[in-house]
Amino acid sequence: MGNDNSSAITIDVDRNDLLYYSGETVSGIVRLNNTEENLETHELYINLIGEIGYTITQSVSNGKGGILPRNPYYYKIQFYHKKVSLSRPSITQQEFIYDRGRYTWLFQIPLIDNLPPTINQPDTFPCVQYFLQVVIDKSWYTSNIKYKKYLTVHPRVNLLENPQCLLPSIFKFENRKDIKLKATFNKLGYVSGEKIQFTLEIQNPRK
């Protein structure tokens, strides 16, 4: 995540909170401040990537009936990938050269409808994470320039298609001292900005 010492990249999106729902479109601007005299590129593009992160811990016997502790192995699997090319040379060119200066590109990347929600912070395992990544694809003998910006993605749920979420629900709890709690919700499905209403009954036999 970041940029190199000679060319600074930033990504500005249309949401200050970086929160999107499945089925929406991520829109924004890529900005490049190039301080190199000649920045030679094969292509400049932006990816929207979804990854799953998980750990595996393997146990090893010490030969004496015991188990040796092992550090966990961390893995990431990419399950979603959308690429949008921002700039590339023409068919007759092999490279495109940028002079010193500031450049901007607009982009729009749609999210499909059925995406798993973001889980945990980036690089906290296990996790489901989404991020935008700008790549300046340079010559094979030089390192590509990359920059990341993480997003939060939530699934969009139609409450009308899930009528069980609109029915009243009751939750009960009783502890060892016979104190009983009863919470009655008028429904379990809510939309953003809606108030959650419920009644709470407490029965304490000692009072």
Domains along the chain? Answer: 7-154 (2.60.40.640), 160-203 (no CATH)
Please give the share of the chain, as a percent, with pLDDT higher than 70: 88
pLDDT given for residue 92 in this prediction: 66
pLDDT score for 4: 41
What's the pLDDT score for residue 192?
Answer: 67
**For residue 112, how many other CB atoms are within 10 A of its CB?**
10
| Mean pLDDT for the chain overall | 86
Helix (H) or strand (E) holding 132: strand 127-137
How far apart CA 112 and CA 26 sit, in angstroms, is 11
Residues present in the chain in total: 207
In sequence order, what are the residues at sequence separation of 6 or more whose Cβ sits closer than 8 angstroms to the Cβ of residue 97?
Answer: 38, 39, 40, 41
Residues 183/200, Cβ–Cβ less than 8 Å: yes
pLDDT tens by residue, 126-167:
999 999 999 998 876 567 888 999 999 998 877 777 788 888
Backbone angles phi, psi at 19, to 5 degrees: -105, 130
Cα 11 from Cα 33, distance rounded (Å) = 12
Model's pTM, two decimal places?
A: 0.72
And the tokens for 175? Answer: 């502890």
